[in-house]
Amino acid sequence: MKEEKREKDMKRGYGVKGVVFDAVSVIVSSITLLAIAFSFCVRMVGVKGESMENTLFDGDWLLVTPYYTEPERGDIVICTKDTAAQGAIVKRVVALGGDEVLITYDDQVYVNGVLQNEPYAQQGSYYGTRGLTGAPFTVPEGCVFLMGDNRGNSMDSRFVGVGDIETGHLLGKVQMRVGQNSDVYYNLPDED
Residue 11 a catalytic site member = no
| Cα torsion 55, 56, 58, 60: sign | positive
Q: Which residues of 107-131 are buried (b: 16+ CB within 10 A; e: fewer)?
A: bebebeeeebebebbbeeebbbebe
Please count the helices (runs of H) and the strands (runs of E) in the chain: 2, 12
Q: Identify any residues that bridge with 140 across adjacent strands, giving them in sequence order.
A: none
Cα–Cα dist 161/157, whole Å: 8
Given 8, 17, 39, 51, which residue is catalytic? 51
Beta carbons within 8 Å of 59's beta carbon, 6+ residues apart: 46, 47, 180
Q: State the catalytic residue, choosing from 11, 17, 25, 91.
A: 91
Backbone angles phi, psi at 8, to 5 degrees: -60, -45
Is 51 an active-site residue? yes
Query: Sign of the C-alpha dihedral, residues 57, 160, 122, 148?
Result: negative
Please, what sign has the CA dihedral across residues 38, 169, 161, 117?
negative
Catalytic amino acids? Answer: 51, 91
